């Protein structure tokens, strides 16, 4: 991919970071974003400890699938290994977003999954949103647990931490992050009022079929 196109993706990553910040999906320098360069062994990833609204184009790093820095002077995000793990397991994934959104993290802290209780959830995410077993931030254990619990879906909760969402491109990965937070909020509200009812099983299966088709 030409330098000009790579710079365009870097700008999109910067914009996505600002959107995450302004939508309250993260605070400070928490969370991270990556995009795989299609057909290449190169991944663009946000730097560690740089605020989203101060991130500049040269702050975005280029790493290979072993995590080696190919371009950039910053340190890549500590969760780069988790992002790489997803790309290795999922050839269909083009972008990964990791956030610490409030309602998502609240449910993840209970070690609870988000069941298929709302229309739009299954066709977009792929089914029940699982929760990955706890792993320390930045650890290989967290990366392995996240990739395993994510499976073939587009989102996974990270116990006591946040979420990881993916998609075929950055727009989808970011929208999935926003959707999961919204769904998490609705799940909490409906759990306060009673027990949220799952969608009928045939609807879940139908929506899973739509998800497979769109992937």
User: Which residues are designated catalytic?
Assistant: 79
CA proximity to 43, closest of 73, 20, 70: 70
Which residues have C-beta within 8 Å of that of residue 160, sequence separation ≥ 6?
108, 109, 111, 134
Q: What angle (nearest 5°) sits at the alpha carbon of residue 86, between those of residues 139 and 80?
A: 45
| Cα distance between residue 114 and residue 40, in whole Å | 34
Cβ(38)–Cβ(51) below 8 Å: no
Which residues have C-beta within 8 Å of that of residue 186, sequence separation ≥ 6?
118
| Cα distance between residue 33 and residue 12, in whole Å | 10
| Cα distance between residue 5 and residue 131, in whole Å | 35
């Amino acid at each position: 991919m030409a330098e000009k196109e790579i710079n365009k993706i870097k700008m999109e990553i910067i914009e996505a970071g600002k959107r995450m910040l302004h939508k309250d999906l993260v605070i400070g320098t928490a969370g991270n974003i990556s995009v795989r360069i299609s057909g290449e062994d190169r991944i663009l990833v946000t730097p560690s400890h740089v605020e989203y609204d101060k991130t500049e184009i040269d702050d975005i790093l280029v790493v290979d699938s072993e995590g080696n820095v190919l371009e950039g002077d910053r340190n890549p995000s500590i969760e780069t290994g988790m992002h790489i793990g997803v790309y290795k397991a999922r050839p269909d994934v083009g972008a990964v977003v990791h956030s610490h959104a409030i309602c998502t993290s609240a449910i993840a802290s209970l070690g609870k999954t988000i069941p298929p209780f709302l229309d739009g959830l299954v066709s977009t995410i792929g089914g029940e949103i699982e929760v990955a077993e706890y792993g320390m931030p930045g650890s290989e254990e967290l990366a392995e647990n996240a990739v395993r619990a994510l499976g073939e879906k587009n989102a996974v909760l990270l116990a006591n931490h946040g979420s990881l969402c993916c998609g075929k491109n950055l727009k989808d990965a970011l929208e999935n992050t926003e959707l999961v937070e919204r769904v998490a909020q609705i799940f909490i509200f409906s759990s306060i009022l009673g027990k949220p009812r799952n969608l009928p099983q045939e609807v879940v299966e139908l929506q899973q079929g739509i998800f497979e088709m769109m992937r």
